[in-house]
Copies of this chain bind each other. A is one copy, B any other.
Amino acid sequence: MNHSPMPTLLDVARKAGVSRSTASNAFSRPDVVRAEVREKVAKAALELGYLGPDPKAKLLRHGKVNAIGIVPPGEWGVADSLKNPVYHQFLSGVAEVCDEVGANLVIIPDRITNGGVGTALVDGFIFGRIEHLRDTEPARLRRLPFVVMDADAGPDISSVRVDARMGGYLAARHLVELGHRKFGIMSFLRGFGPTRYHPPGVPRGPEAAGMETDQEKLRGYAEALSEAGLDIADVPIVQAQPWDRDAARMMLDMAPEATAILSMAVMQGIAVLDEARRRGHSVPRDLSVVGFNEIPEAAKSTPSLTTVDGKAAEKGRMAARIIFDAGPIRRELLLPRLIVRSSTAPPSKG
């Protein structure tokens, strides 16, 4: 209905019979203007349908946006980051801090073309797992604070990660202590590509796990096994994307003697549970399973899944605080925790 041009501060000032700066002060520094004048201005604004200083113009003068930008990992879009259950937890952690400080949360896929980190209107960025440190360049050039997740980015960049090696160690040691000696490992395949099988006896490099954080998990597994006199090189590894349902089948095919499966992803762990049941195996009597990361599904699966709590929500909270605190560089390493549920027990055939 109202298609006249947007009223500006000057219109309001004229209508109220004051100068532009007075009108500006009435909105932005009310204490500097006496109540009587303030009301005249407010009245004029109301009549003109003027909401207050244009946020865009305000921004140009001293650019606080009141929003934090989340850059999802890799090629992920907005929808991907909402759908991934572990990332969803991380986002919830960030969101809690947003609510504490009254900031908006904006999800910014790392687009090459328009948009992306180079132009997003936010006060800082949380990079949710980066491929190369250079992905953060636009943030640095814009002089915007940022933090990198799940990797140590050196002494000049804030980072938050969980001790994945420790997580892997806790998972494997738990099984070792229960008496297991025969294992299978479900490793993480990041990005695209078919499921890969790494047979035992063949030496395996870091490519047997996806990212650095996955390689750390593997290292943790290896340590715990080694303490028990076992060599991880003798353990069959299936490396798959966590949503690959066939991978669980391949795992059980390739490690028929295993009494325990170590999985780097919680959804993979649940898939193994399902596949074991399908084969008529009883978990944990015939097979123990440990996942990685804690999401509600882990507690609800049948049987409930023993897993490593990767502290996703806490990572989110911590990263957000680093941005909003605007303090010095911080490098945080969170400690994971083993959550023992019903999917692990001593081996019966051992």
Contacts and interface: CB of A to CB of B under 8 A. Distances in A.
Given A51-B142, A104-B115, A107-B105, A95 B120 contact: no
A333 B181 CA distance: 60
Contacts of A91: 82
B115 A66 contact: yes
A66 B78 CA distance: 13
A109 interface: yes
Nearest to A103: B115
A102 B115 contact: yes
Nearest to A55: B119
Nearest to A108: B104
Interface string A75-89: 001110111000010
A106 B106 contact: yes
Given A56-B60, A104-B106, A138-B51, A99 B79 contact: yes
A1 B140 CA distance: 10
A132 to B, nearest CB: 17
A141 interface: yes
B106 A67 contact: yes
Contact of A55 (B102, B120, B143): B120
Contacts of A104: 69, 78, 106-109, 115, 120
16 contacts: A55-B121, A56-B59, A56-B63, A60-B60, A66-B119, A67-B106, A77-B98, A77-B99, A79-B92, A79-B95, A99-B109, A102-B114, A102-B115, A104-B107, A104-B120, A300-B300
